[in-house]
Structure 1
Amino acid sequence: MGTSAVSGRGVATVALDASVLINFLILNRVQVLADLPGFRFVVLDAVEHEVRRPQQQITLEVAFEQGLVDRAGTANPQELAIFAEHRRVMGLGEAACLAAAEVRGWMLASDERRLFRRLARERIGDHRILTTPAILVLPVKTGVISVEELRGAKEELERNRFRVPPGAFGGLVSE
């Protein structure tokens, strides 16, 4: 199955799908990902190409340069075969992230629903899937951001047409 989602150093590697990555770019809070203890967030090349707004591309490039998130490609033949299989029913970035999570044993961060979510649950299990709200709650619990900052992030995401599912923030902010 590849390497474990949690390395020997106790760090879980997480493939960021465009849906989650773009939310953190909108919030201008990629630093939060780097500040989360126990996680290493990776942007696959297929996902990087899905970031189309110039300001978001600049913010992402700065995040790479500062080491806030890592960049990775897909070269493993097994991963490429799984990617091709997934590509028939989902987008480029989603297929790349799910294939990487399967083969490399990584976690997956995605807000996609329906078929993608069902396939991800079948392939890697619900326990290895994170969403934007789930990630945003973690820094509150570790003191990286305040509840007020979380509330502001939620409001900003909603202004940008992100639908926050009921209970997504674990009761930390009114929903």
Structure 2
Amino acid sequence: MSTTPFDFEALEEHLFDGCAEAIASVQSEIGREDPAVFFAIDANPYYGEFLPSLDTRSNAAAVMKGHQASVLERRAWLKDTSDEAWKNAHEHARFESLPLYNHEVADFSHHMLADLKYAPLASFVRDPIYATLNATASKDGWVEGHTRAVLARVVDRLVDGGHFASLPIAAPFGVGYAYHGEPMIVCRVVL
């Protein structure tokens, strides 16, 4: 990423240290009979909010079971016999595709293991310089795009540093992040 007027390295250290502590703090609550299946950082960088969260197999299964029931109820398009029904099949099928993991961090069994609020980031986006930096924003704003790289590096460091090694996990075990209202980004899978 480009050089920036914000210290994203300090944000990375803050998140890495906080996530490592959060993982260590929950180890005694996770048992082999109901192992962890996913770790994600629930992130809202514009407000400097970062919430490490963990999901267990039983919770993920319950959420997915409910999601599947909802999808099955909406499958009226399968019974559409009109000559033009085929034209919408692609969109219906994609919309109703079932994920193999609980993709909603707020529904994780251990949501908000810690509140890793980072006030310097929240302050920075209110500085007049941010409007200039963000003037050419695309799908991500300037801070959101830079923060994605930070989150991916934090995930890599947690996995590569063995921070999940003493946590009972199921295989595969997903590690990633989610921005509010967006699909989960799976950065790593531990097998």
TM-score normalized by structure 1? 0.33
TM-score normalized by structure 2? 0.31
Max radius of gyration: which structure?
2
Higher RCO (CA 8 Å, separation ≥ 6 residues): 2
